[in-house]
Structures are given as structure tokens and as C-alpha cells.
Structure 1
Amino acid sequence: MKFTDGYWLMRPGVVARYAAEVADIRADEHRMTLYAPVKHVRGRGDTLNSPLLTVECWSPAEGVIGVRTTHHAGTPDPGPHFALPGAEPGAGKVRRDGAVTELSAGELTLRVDASQPWNLEFTAEGRTLTTVGERGTGFVTDAAGSHHMLGQLSLGVGELVYGLGERFTPFVRNGQTVDIWQADGGTSSEQAYKNIPFHLTNQGYGVFVNHPGKVSYEIGSESVGQVQFSVEDQTLEYFVVHGPTPKQILERYTALTGRPALPPAWALGLWLTTSFTTDYDEATVNRFVGGMAERGIPLSVFHLDCFWMREYQWSDFAWDPETFPDPAGMLARLKEQGLRISAWINPYVAQKSALFAEGMREGYLVRRADGGVWQWDLWQPGMALVDFTNPAARDWYTGKLRALLAQGVDCFKTDFGERIPTDVVWHDGSDPQRMHNYYTQLYNEAVFELLREERGEGEALLFARSATAGGQQYPVHWGGDCESHFNAMAESLRGGLSLGLSGFGFWSHDIGGFEGTPSPAVFKRWVQFGLLSSHSRLHGSKSYRVPWDYGDEAVDVTREFTLLKHRLAPYLQRAAQQAHTTGIPVMRAMVLEFPDDPAAATLDRQYLLGGDLLVAPILSDDGTVEYYVPEGTWTNLLTGEQVTGPRWTKEQHGFHTLPLLVRPDSVIPLAADDQHPVSAWADGVELRVHAFADGAERTVVIPRSDGPGESARFHLRRSGDRLHVTTDSLRPWHLRTGGPDGTLHTCPAGTPQADFPYPV
């Protein structure tokens, strides 16, 4: 929200009060509290008839410092609040030297000089990261009488801002106004399904605004040298998170707010859906599944979208008897073919649903101030909303899902969760403004924890659309309703990369686009992109996404890239384990891997899949793609062709290739089994060695396919013209040097070490 009219004036009706200086400091060993008048105090008279801000500073974890500014402390705070599972009391250390007080947390220090005008200086490793200056701490009242707390952190020359959730606007946030407010706005506007009040910059730090309600950002868009964030409240709390690298920032942020769970490895395979409003029944499902098998396209998950239930009755979790007369039998038959089953749900209950009367009678639905059930006719006629702040309502809702799991459903697509009213009363008394964004956390948490309880640790999996801070703990998330053209493909990728820089480890999207019907060219290019994402789902709205609807070549492309993803499964599962333990996403913006390369700072049409594969999706009808290659010699995994960076390159590809480049000095493990995403990955694994320099060393871990841990480890070291490999694997393994046509060496089971000529 903008409060000023240019640099000198305020907007009509706006009155701002900013911390001017430090009047007093109270500190103990671990925290300090600053008392800041909003004008300079020259004498006792200046202490009268004027606000005094309370600014508390502490550290919840190493490398993180919190700042909480309060105007009037007597305002009720009914919640909700973001959980901070990684917070540790007493993490910081306070040091005082005359007028200077410092709070340190690891390398990060907050410095305050009480003899000077108001200024909070955040430093690390001998340099200033950011400052909170003369307009950086305060409150504003507007013409309507609303009270806003605000913070401003300085931006340095060349400093770029990223994150704030899954946003489809330009990747670098500088110059943008961003409201953290959940909305079902598709992928072509400034609205977002996943709004996260966390940003990071290329100057070694991130900032998490710890407020679940609406947070309004002005990112160099009101004061061009500042990131401003404001909330309509009496208190504003934020955390500065030191890196210095972007990866370290994400590690610390996700340690504080929660790390992603590890999805089951079977989810890495290809998902196929019925699509949304298309006509389908059990025969359609069988035709799709059989058609994929006949064409040699392995399928891992089949998803049944909304109309598995009867129209007008969502969500009652009852199968439509006309289209699915034997649901338990159908699910059993699908599972006999090796498929997992996903079912669409949402947290809304239509008036025609039998659950409406039950939920209204028991008090499980969100109510208006007059005691009646809140309803509207958007989406579903007479739709009401499950009140997840009521433990009994949560149990009631998940109890309905438990019956579906007993029938054979494996996971749920938790759709919606964004259109949450603010003129309602919640069971636990939560503030309706705060609950608008936070509702999705309660919704996804309830379903995820049910799956974890029923299916076991490591088997719980969602396909979720909405999220807020902390939502990364309940993967997987997908990008929502996009159009079916190249521009929509590009905007989806921007959103996914932005979400990855907001603490989310796993992300997917609708292959082919959701709205409309893609051209054969768009479909084939989106298949390449989708199967080189962390999770891969074919899904549409009014048209099917079975490959044969888009031509014979689309079938071939879908088959080839599905088999490729299966071979990449041990590599992808290792990246998934890293996301689970560190918070580093599987799909990584280039700036995350190459923070010291200025050319990588703005790239949003390419990414790293894991740490060693560069993917540049093709976004043109003629197959032309222009992308940036960082320093070193990179090898195309599909063709073996090499390109040496740093440089921009322009290429043209048919539908069977794209830029899929392997990082220099890297080793990609490829599974022997290309028919399944889950196999004995260490058995017959192929180690593909690329551009290994003399003296280079690399350790490759083959993860377990049934959960956390590893099943084999290989260490490779090049010395001169020899490549030496040691391993603890007791299975046969292979090594290939160069591209796909390079020399293949085979080692029998029980070969603990071997030497190979290199280069060949």
C-alpha cells in the first residue's frame, strides 16, 4: 500500500509517524527492547502528547534476528499465528558499549546507536546488509481511520528482490506492488494462490514478515531505494535471515518455518487425469489407462477430478453411481495394474450435499455474525465452508476422507482454499482477516496428517493449489489454472521458480495447460517441461490431455520423456531428499545455483533440475530457444553435444530434444529400469560422467527408493588420464563417459573399486 504522494507529500487523509530516535534501551543477555518516540525529544515537554513505539529485538535461531514494533499493545490478538517449529529461545547475544547496543546471532548483527537518529543496521561478515532508516519504523493512519504498521529496509545499488510466493508477474520483484492475499486468479494476473510474506535478495539476506493476514509490499515502487511492507494492525513483526548465499538463506528460513516432507518416490512418475468438465466414466478411465499401456507410456498415478462426485453436491465424498457404479472394484482393478489413485476434493460443502445439513446441525461450518451459516453461490450453489478451527469439524471432514482411503484412494488433490470470507465468525475466535490467508494451512495440514496417519511416514502426498508460509511442509503444490499456450507455459515457470525461492521444495503444473486446448506443438513442448519438473501431471479443463489426441509424435515424445524421467529417478529422489533436509528446492532458479554470476540474476526461462541439470524449456512454435550457459563445459544429456560458457546460445530443436545440459565435473546416475519410477536403483545403475576435469572429485549417492537414506555410494576422482571409482555397492553397475553414445564400462556385483581411461 502506498502512503506517500511522491517523496515529499503524503496522500490525502494519510498521517504517518516514524521512529525518530532511541529514548531508552532495556536489554538482557539475549534480547533488547528499544523505546522510540516519533519526534526528537529536546526536553521533558516533548515526551507528552506523542506516541512512543516499542521495538523488541531478539534471535529465534542462528543467523536470524527478529524485530517486533508495537504501537498500542492492548489490542486483542485472537490469532491465528504462523508456527515457528525451528525457533530456539535465547539464540542471540546482546553486547553494550556506551550508546551502541548490538544483538548478534551467528554472523548476523543488529547494531543500534542511541546517540544518533533512528537507524537499525544489519551487518554480517564486515559489511552492511540493509538498514532501517528514518522512515523505516512507524505507523500510518489513512483517510478511513485504518491503522497500519510499516517497515522499510533499504535496497543497495544493484540489489534485486525475489520470492513472495508463487507469483506470475516479472521474476525480479523490484518496482512491483505485491499484496499477500490469497486469490483464485489464474496464472495471468498479479493475484496468486500461494502468497508467502518472505523475500530474499541478491545481497545475502531474506526477510520474513511474521503476519498471516494481508501484508502489502512496495518493492522499490514507492520509495525506490526501499522495500516497504505494511499490515493493518498495531504490531508488525519480521525476521531478517542471513545467508550469505541464497541456499543458506532458504536453509535458515525453512529451518524456522518448517521443512518439506519427503514425498513417496512413486509420485515421481507420470500422472494422468480425467480432466475437469469433460465427459468421463469408468469406461473412459479404462480407455485412458489402456491407451497409455498400449502405446508403451508407463503411468504411475491416475487422478479423478471433480465429477467423480455428483454435480451440485460437492463435497459429499460420494461417488456418482451413474458413472462409477462400483468404485471399490474400479479402484482395485486400477491398482492391480500398478497404479496409485488420486481424488479431487475441496473444503466447500454445497447446500444439496447431505453433509451440509449434518455440518450445519453440528456446528462444523463457518458462521456469520448472526449465527447463520455463511453461504454464497459461487463455485457451488449455496456453498458453505468447513471450519477447520473446530477440532470436531476437522475430525468430521477427515473421517469422510478416511472412508475413501479404505476404498483404495492413495492421495488427494486439495483444490481451492483461497476464497475465504472475512465477514464471518470462526469457532476458535480467530481474526477473520488473518484467517483469509491462513485457512489453507489448516486445510492442507488436516488432509496431510490424515494421510500420514493412514499411509505412514513417507507415503503422505497432496496435490495442493493454495498455500501460505509454512505450507511447504505439506507437498506437493501445483501451479493452478493456466491457459494452453506458450505465454502461459512461461508464466507458470516463473511462478514455480518464485515459489522455490519462497521455501517450497516441490512444484508441478498442468501439462498442456488447463484452460483451452493446446496446439500439438504446445502440448509436446509442455510434455518436455512437465516431465523435467519435480512432479508431472497431464491435466486440462474442457479437453482431455491423453497424448494421442495431439498426434502420433506427441505419443512418442510423452513416452520418451516419461522413460527418461524414470531413469533419472535416483537423481531426482536424491534432490528430493535434499529438499526435505535443507529446504533447497528440486527446481532451482539459476540465481540460486549461481549467485555470483550477474547474468544468472534475472533468468526465469531456464532452471536447474537438482544441482546438475540445466533445463531450458522451448517456448516457440519453431523450436528456437535462447538460453544462458554458465562457466565451464556443459554436455547435453540427450545428444552429447557440448557448449562452453559463460555465453548465451541460440539453438533450434525438434520435439525429441531440448537443452538439457549436465554441469561440468558432474555424474548423473541413471536407473536401469525405465518402466517404473521406483525400482532397485542401485542394481545396474549407470553413472554418466560429464566433462570431468583433471583433479575433479565427486561423490554420488544412490538413494533408497522406499524412503530416506541411501542404498549405495560411489566416489569418483580423476587423475591425469585415469578415472578412479570406489563404491560400497554390492550390485552390478556401469559407467559411461561422455554423452549417450560414449564408452560404456560394466562392473560386476561386488566390485569395490575400478579404474577407467579418461577422457576416451
Structure 2
Amino acid sequence: MKFTDGFWHARRGVAIHYAREVDRLTAADGALHAIAPTKVVRHRGDTLNLPVVTTSVSAPAENVVRVRHTHHKGAGDHFRFPVNTGDDVGEAVVAGDEGTVTSGALSAHLSVGKTWSLEFRAEGRTLTRSGGKSAAWVDVSPGAAVDHGSPQLERDGRTSYMFDQLDLGVGELVYGLGERFGPVVKNGQSVDIWNEDGGTSSEQAYKNVPFYLTNAGYGVFVDDPGHVSYEVGSEAVERVQFSVPGETLDYYVIYGPDPKSILERYTALTGRPARVPAWSYGLWLSTSFTTDYDEQTVSSFIDGMAEREIPLSLFHFDCFWMREFTWCDFEWDPRVFPDPEGMLARLHDRGLRVCVWINPYIAQQSPLFDEGMAAGYLVRNRDGSVWQWDRWQAGMALVDFTNPDATAWYQDKLRRLVRQGVDAFKTDFGERIPTDVQYFDGSDPERMHNYYTHLYNQAVHEVLASERGADDAVLFARSATAGGQQFPVHWGGDNTASYVSMAESLRGGLSLAYSGFGYWSHDIGGFEMTPDAGVFKRWTAFGLFSSHSRMHGSGSYRVPWMFGEDESDPTGAVAVTRKFARLKNRLAPYLVATGEEAHRRGTPMMRPMLLEFPEDLTVAHLDRQYMLGGDLLVAPVFSAEGQVDLYLPAGEWAGLLTGERITGGRWVREQHDFDSLPVYLRPGAVVPLARHEDRPDADHLDGLTLLVHPDPDPDWSRTVQVAGTDGSAVSFTVRRRGDVVEAESDQQDGWSLQVAGGDVAPAAEGRTEVRA
């Protein structure tokens, strides 16, 4: 949201009251407390008729500083995100006119009697600063020349905002702010944190997260679940501005120094991703959305995949498993699924899991509408009537998840489905949340607009965790905000069947990774329209090198034999799907270990290149390639012709599919047929490969192969862990001794060692070696 007209002036109807100086500074309760007049005070008379900004600076966690600006504290403070902080972590000291808060390597500095300057330092350098004309209270008059950031937020009356601006250094780049589908570097963009159902080809986003990080070693989290507006080097090109409506702005500065460490500390505050089960890494197949389907159709798809030796992990039933006009009533449509319990049992007997589509909306034709209305479980208008509209479903209402009884009521409907045999839920929607309503617990409806989806996904995840076990709970969620990473998996929403949309989907996933989300997926082949065979095959290869993989569409099926190609063609859709689905199952032990990093440290599975190579200046803008875990570089092919330009950081890399060795530190142009894409092992990679190609949750230690691309350092060594079927971890140590690579484990037999592109050597008595 822009408040200024160039550098010198405010916009029409806008009065900006900047913190000009610090009048007094105290230390108490581990925090600095400052009073900042909004003009320079030269004598006592200047203190009259003068707004002030009061600021507190504290350190709630190691290498984290919290800043809180307030204008009128009597306005009350609305709820904020649940944040995990410690007690008395940092130290606040005032010495003369200087105040400092220190936590770990990070410190914040304020001075009395000087121009306003809140400076953040670490390890002898300034990270960023809130300087002159940065922190402010803004008074916006009716009809002012400002865009409030969303059609729902156009305001008729006088409005107040708080904002701050943090300096950007030369060459400093900004990332994150949720799943955004434009350029992954956010400099020059205006971003509104406001969940919308806008598809993947607009500035709107399903997953808005008020957190960003920069390549200068720090991140910033604005602790406000409502509308947060960012001007990222746009309104003030030297700064990032973030503003919120109301009288208080609360934010955290998080020191890294590297991007992984920033995400580790950010997710320690807002929550780490839950574990997901090994079976979830396999291929998911859907009915698609508006297609005709019944149990016979479903069986024909599953039979077709099995006949073509394409492994499936899960089958997904989209919206029309329920009757039209009744979404959601959580009842199988008896016209097409007359025996749901039997059908689910038959699918389980084939080794498949089952996912069904749901949303948090209750249509008026659903029997649950009257039940929920009578019990007070639905979100209400301000006059006490039930809020409804006719978009999506006729007369639909919203479950009020701020009401514990309503949440339990909704969860009980899902428990019945789990006990029928449903294994996972696709938690669709959650973005179309009105602001002119009232909630059971009195929550501010503007802040609930984004936060609603958090309560929704949390409620559903709790059902699966309690019914199936914490490590066997998995969603397929579309909307989210800060903290939503705790309830995986999330997918990218409604894309289209084109190469351009495939690329924008990846940008969204990388942006979400920069925002603390550990797992991410997308609709293989595109949701809208029907892909041609080339788009489908290229997207299939990309999708099966994503953390999670689902084939799904809108008005057409996404089974590979429907693209009119010769099924014996090794570059046809059937063969391509078979090849990469089987390869992904072999990669399952590697993916499980990478998922464990997401769970324990908050490091995403699909990683922007900057996370692994923060010192390489070339990777800063890359958004057409990524690291899948720490060891595999993936560059999807975004054209039918198959030409790919990719960047390999320094060192010798090895092709996963080809075994070819190639020297990095440069750009490479490659040509790939439909059954290939660039996938490289980095120097020092150790990738455990399962023997089983038919499923991702088989015993990974049974016939395990350690695929190694050794580092050239003659003293290189590395230890990796592979999870057993009982959840215990078995360690393998790999080392280089001149021209020989050795591997050993004192816990496991029956495994092999392979150097990329070389021979396989089986272990004997827990050890083996091959030539490098």
C-alpha cells in the first residue's frame, strides 16, 4: 500500500506521522522501551498536540529481535499468530543515551536525542535499519488516494495504519511472502498478504505469508494475521515497507546468517512441518474435477495403470464423490458409489490409499446446514443471521472454527470417513472468507480472513493424526498463511495446461519454500484445459521430481494412455509416466530423509538454489531450477523442443539419469527428449536408492544401493541415515581414500555401493568399496 506521492509528499487525504527522534529510552523486563515524538521537540511547547510512537524492542529467541510500534494502545490489540518464544533470552541495556538489545549474534540499537534510527547488527556489520522517515503512524481520511489492498478492504471512514521501512543494501534481494507466481525475487513488487482464489497466473495468491528473507543474512516476520501490505523496493526503492491497519505493528527480525538458518529460526517461531508418511511420496491419481466417474471408472484407471506397470500410491476422489448442491455433507453419492465401504476396502486390498475432496463450506441443501445453523456452528452476519452467498455452492455458509464445539462437530464428520477407510483429505478452498461477519469468539473478521484457513487445516490434520497416528497424517491443502506449514502437504492451486503455467507453478513453489513450507505439489498436466502430449510428458517428469506428485485436471482425465500415442514408444506418455514414477519410488529413502530435514529443521524439500549455494552470486535470481534435497539439482524442461539452459555451481557434477560427469561454475545448454530432463548429483552427494520400484513405502533397507558422487577432496567422508520400516535409522559412512570410495555400516547387511555412472559393488560384512 502506497502512502506517499514521490519522496517529498504524502498522497491526498493521507497524514503520515513519522517517528522523528527518541525522546526517552528505558530498559525493563528484558526490553528497550522508547518514546518517539513525530516531530523534533525543541522546547516544551512542541510536546503539545503531538502524536508519538511508542516502541519496545526485545529478544524472545536466540538471534531474533522483536519490535513493537504502537500509537494508541487503548485501541486494544487483536490476536496474533501463535509464536513459540523463550523467556529472558536476550538482554536489554541502556548506557547513557544508547540502548541495545542483544540475542546471540544479533543486536538492535536505539539512541536518544538523535534522528530516529533503529539499527540491526550482527557479527560486526549492519544488517538493516529503520531510519529517518521509516516508522510511522498514518491517518487516512475518507476518499484518500490510496488503494487499501483488496476489494474487501475499501474503507469509507477514517482509517489508521502503522508501518515501518527497513533499508535494502546494494544488491540485496528479497524472497518469500508466500506462494507467489511472479518472479521469485520480490524487489520492485507490491504484495498484499490477503488470501484469494485467483489461480496461478495473477498477482493474487492462495498462500500469503507475512515473512520474507533476503540474501543479506536476515528475515523479517510481521506478526499480524490480517492484511499486511508490502512495498518491496517499490514505493521507496531503497527500502522494504510493511504496513498494517490499526494502531500497532509487531515484527521480528531473524538473523541467519545463511538462508537455511533463517528458515530454521523462523519455523522454530511459527511451527515446523509435520512428518508425512513414506507412502505419500508415490504417485497420486485423481478422478479430475467435473469429469464423469463412478467406481467402474475409478477401477478402469487403476487397472490401466497396473496393466502398464505404472505404480500408484493413492487414488483421489474429487468433489463429485458427494452429490451436487450438497457440498459438503460428507456422504457418498449413492447413484455412483452405492457401496463406499466395500469400494474403499477393495482399493486398500490393491495396496492403495484413498483421498477425498472437502472444503469448509456448507451448502444450504446439505443436511448439515440446518444442523449447524441450529447449533450456532456457522459464521454469522453482524445482525446475528447466518452469513451466506451463492458462489461455489448455492446458499453456502462457513463453519465457525473459532467455536470449539463447531470444530468438534466438523471433525466428527471426518472421523466417520476415516473409519470408513479414507486415508487423506484434500482441504480445498478456505480463501473466500468475508470480513463483514462476526465469529463465535469475537475475533476480528479482517484478521480471520487469512487465519481462517489455518484453523480449518489444523482441524482436519488433527483428525488424521488422532485416527491414523501423527506420522501417518497428510493433507493436500490449497490455502495457508504463516504457520500453515505445520499441516502438510500444500499444492499450487489452479494452473493451466501450458509450459508457461508449468514455469509459473514452479515459481510459486520456490516462493513458498522461501516462506518456510517444507513440502509442495502441483497439478501435473495443468488443471484448466487439456494438455497436449508434450505438456503432459514434460510436466510428468517435473511433477515426479517434486516432493509430492498428483495427476489432476478439471474437465478431462489425466491418465497417460489418453494422449493418442503409441504405448510402446519409450518417449510416449505411458512410458514416461512409468519411468519417472518407478524412479521416484526408488528415490523414496532419499525423499524420506529429506522430509525429515523439513520436519526437524524447517528446510524445504524443494529448495531454491540460494539455500544450498548462498555464496554463489549467479543463483540469486534462478527460478527455473531447484535442488530436491541437498544432493539433487533438477531443471524441468519448459518446452516441447526440449532445450534447457541451466546453471551448475562450481565443482564436478554427475547426471543421475546418464552418469555423465560435467564441470560446473557455468551455464549449460542441453537438449532432452520427453523421457529425460536434467537431474544432477552435486559433488559429495550420497543418494540412497531403494530396490523396490512398485511402491515408496516398502522396506528401504532391503537391497538398498548407496549412489555416490564423491567429492574430489581425498579426505572426504560423509554419513547418511536410512529409515527402517520400524522408524529406526541405520547409518552408513562413505569416505574417499585416493581413487577408492569405501562405505560401511555396522548395522545393516544386504546393501550395495555405486559410484555415479560406474559399477555396483555389494557389501560383505557391512562394508564395500568401488573405484572413484
Q: Is this a same-fold pair by TM over 0.5?
A: yes
Q: Compute the displacement of 1:100 (Å).
A: 1.0
C-alpha offsets along residues 292-315 of structure 1, whole Å, 9 cap, x if unaligned? 101001110000000000000000
Asked if the contact 1:30/1:92 (under 8 Å) is kept, the reply is: yes
Asked if the contact 2:749/2:766 (under 8 Å) is kept, the reply is: no
Tell me which residue corresponds to 1:481.
494
Asked if the contact 1:348/1:383 (under 8 Å) is kept, the reply is: yes
Matches within 5 A, 1:617-628: 617-628=636-647
Asked if the contact 1:714/1:725 (under 8 Å) is kept, the reply is: yes
Paired residue total: 750
Q: Compute the displacement of 1:423 (Å).
A: 0.7
Over aligned residue pairs, what C-alpha RMSD do you find? 1.0
Query: How far, CA to CA, are the matches of 1:240 and 1:28 in structure 2?
Result: 20
Q: Compute the displacement of 1:328 (Å).
A: 0.5
Tell me which residue corresponds to 1:128.
126
Query: How far, CA to CA, are the matches of 1:25 and 1:377 in structure 2?
Result: 55
Query: How far, CA to CA, are the matches of 1:189 and 1:298 in structure 2?
Result: 35
Q: 1:149 aligns with which of 155, 159, 162?
A: 162
Query: How far, CA to CA, are the matches of 2:403 and 2:735 in structure 1?
Result: 58
C-alpha offsets along residues 730-752 of structure 1, whole Å, 9 cap, x if unaligned? 2211111232xx2111124xx23
Letter in 1 for 2:651: G
Tell me which residue corresponds to 1:675.
694
Tell me which residue corresponds to 1:719.
737
Matches within 5 A, 1:536-555: 536-550=549-563, 551=565, 552=567, 553-555=572-574
**Quick check: 1:75 aligned with 2:75?**
yes
Matches within 5 A, 1:306-705: 306-550=319-563, 551=565, 552=567, 553-693=572-712, 694-705=714-725
Asked if the contact 1:264/1:706 (under 8 Å) is kept, the reply is: no
Asked if the contact 2:263/2:516 (under 8 Å) is kept, the reply is: yes
Tell me which residue corresponds to 2:768.
754
TM-score by length of 1: 0.98
Letter in 1 for 2:80: H
Q: Compute the displacement of 1:706 (Å).
A: 5.1
Letter in 2 for 1:725: A
Matches within 5 A, 1:79-228: 79-84=78-83, 86-144=84-142, 145-228=158-241
Tell me which residue corresponds to 1:7.
7
Letter in 1 for 2:734: L
Q: Compute the displacement of 1:81 (Å).
A: 2.1
Query: How far, CA to CA, are the matches of 1:136 and 1:216 in structure 2?
Result: 15
Tell me which residue corresponds to 2:753.
735
Tell me which residue corresponds to 2:30.
30
Query: How far, CA to CA, are the matches of 1:118 and 1:560 in structure 2?
Result: 61
Query: How far, CA to CA, are the matches of 2:319 and 2:508 in structure 1?
Result: 25
Letter in 2 for 1:577: E
Query: How far, CA to CA, are the matches of 1:624 and 1:135 in structure 2?
Result: 49
Asked if the contact 2:37/2:52 (under 8 Å) is kept, the reply is: yes
Letter in 2 for 1:225: E
Q: Compute the displacement of 1:115 (Å).
A: 3.5
Query: How far, CA to CA, are the matches of 1:639 and 1:753 in structure 2?
Result: 26
Letter in 2 for 1:734: S
Query: How far, CA to CA, are the matches of 1:193 and 1:80 in structure 2?
Result: 22
Q: Compute the displacement of 1:676 (Å).
A: 0.9
Asked if the contact 2:710/2:736 (under 8 Å) is kept, the reply is: no
Asked if the contact 2:551/2:558 (under 8 Å) is kept, the reply is: yes
Query: How far, CA to CA, are the matches of 2:595 and 2:750 in structure 1?
Result: 25
**Quick check: 1:19 aligned with 2:32?**
no
Q: Is 606-615 or 717-726 further displaced after alignment?
A: 717-726
**Unaligned residue ranges in structure 2 (runs of 5+):** 143-157
**Quick check: 1:744 aligned with 2:743?**
no
Query: How far, CA to CA, are the matches of 2:323 and 2:741 in structure 1?
Result: 62
Q: Is 449-458 or 693-702 further displaced after alignment?
A: 693-702
Q: Is 650-659 or 183-192 further displaced after alignment?
A: 650-659
Asked if the contact 2:60/2:90 (under 8 Å) is kept, the reply is: yes
Q: Is 162-171 or 721-730 further displaced after alignment?
A: 721-730
Asked if the contact 2:356/2:425 (under 8 Å) is kept, the reply is: yes
Letter in 2 for 1:218: E
Asked if the contact 2:68/2:250 (under 8 Å) is kept, the reply is: yes
Q: Compute the displacement of 1:143 (Å).
A: 2.7
Asked if the contact 1:635/1:691 (under 8 Å) is kept, the reply is: no
Q: Compute the displacement of 1:28 (Å).
A: 2.6
**Unaligned residue ranges in structure 1 (runs of 5+):** none
Query: How far, CA to CA, are the matches of 1:518 and 1:183 in structure 2?
Result: 25
Query: How far, CA to CA, are the matches of 2:756 and 2:352 in structure 1?
Result: 36
Tell me which residue corresponds to 1:241.
254
Letter in 1 for 2:694: Q
Asked if the contact 2:753/2:768 (under 8 Å) is kept, the reply is: no
C-alpha offsets along residues 497-525 of structure 1, whole Å, 9 cap, x if unaligned? 00001000000000000000011000001
Query: How far, CA to CA, are the matches of 1:587 and 1:263 in structure 2?
Result: 15
Query: How far, CA to CA, are the matches of 2:499 and 2:458 in structure 1?
Result: 34
Query: How far, CA to CA, are the matches of 2:198 and 2:224 in structure 1?
Result: 22
What SS does the corresponding residue of 1:60 show, helix, strand or coil? Answer: strand
C-alpha offsets along residues 49-69 of structure 1, whole Å, 9 cap, x if unaligned? 101211011111000000000
Letter in 2 for 1:104: T
What SS does the corresponding residue of 1:185 show, helix, strand or coil? Answer: coil
Q: Compute the displacement of 1:76 (Å).
A: 3.0
Which stretches of structure 1, 4 residues or more, deviate above 6 A after TM superposition? Answer: none
Tell me which residue corresponds to 2:150.
none
Q: Is 343-352 or 140-149 further displaced after alignment?
A: 140-149
Letter in 1 for 2:756: G
Query: How far, CA to CA, are the matches of 1:728 and 1:64 in structure 2?
Result: 41
Query: How far, CA to CA, are the matches of 1:540 and 1:338 in structure 2?
Result: 24
TM-score by length of 2: 0.96
C-alpha offsets along residues 694-749 of structure 1, whole Å, 9 cap, x if unaligned? 22111121123454x41x2111111212223221232211111232xx2111124x
